[in-house]
């Protein structure tokens, strides 16, 4: 037998796309995490990634709010 190309299985699991989307969301979450100027800062934190006109953006940033809404829409009613 020569090295013939492996047959392409067309019946991929439908969860692959979902898993890829979740992996992308996790990557975004890793960037957009809550950050404080100092540990005892009484004020709400800021997004560690976002800024607008050179200023920090209060946490949660619009990106995380949008993600939360997306996850809520995609996930079940549990939680
Ligand atoms: Zn952000």
Mean pLDDT of residues grouped by 10 in the chain (79 residues)?
69 77 92 91 90 93 91 67
Instruction: Give 21 Cα–ligand 1 centroid separation in angstroms.
Output: 18
pLDDT at 4: 74
CA of 78 to the centre of ligand 1 (A): 25
Residue 17: inside a domain: no
5 CA distance to ligand 1 centroid (A)?
A: 44
Instruction: Locate 39 and state its tokens.
Output: 């540990």
What's the domain count of the chain? 1
Domain-located, residue 1: no
What's the whole-model pTM score? 0.64
Give the range of the structural domain holding residue 46, as residue numbers without chain letter.
31-79
CA of 64 to the centre of ligand 1 (A): 6
> Listing from the earlier edge strand, what are the strands of the sheet with 34-35?
34-35, 46-52, 55-58
Do residues 60 and 68 touch, judged by C-beta distance below 8 A? yes
The answer to whether residue 21 sits within a structural domain is no
Q: How far is the CA of 11 from the centre of ligand 1 (A)?
A: 37
Looking up tokens 């995380």 gives 64
């Amino acid at each position: 037998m020569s090295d013939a190309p492996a047959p392409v299985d067309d019946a991929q699991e439908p969860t692959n796309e979902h898993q890829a989307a979740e992996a992308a969301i996790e990557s975004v979450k890793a960037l957009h995490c809550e950050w404080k100027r100092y540990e005892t800062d009484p004020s709400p934190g800021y997004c560690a990634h976002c800024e607008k006109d050179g200023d920090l953006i209060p946490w949660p940033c619009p990106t995380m709010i949008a993600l939360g809404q997306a996850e809520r829409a995609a996930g079940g009613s549990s939680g």
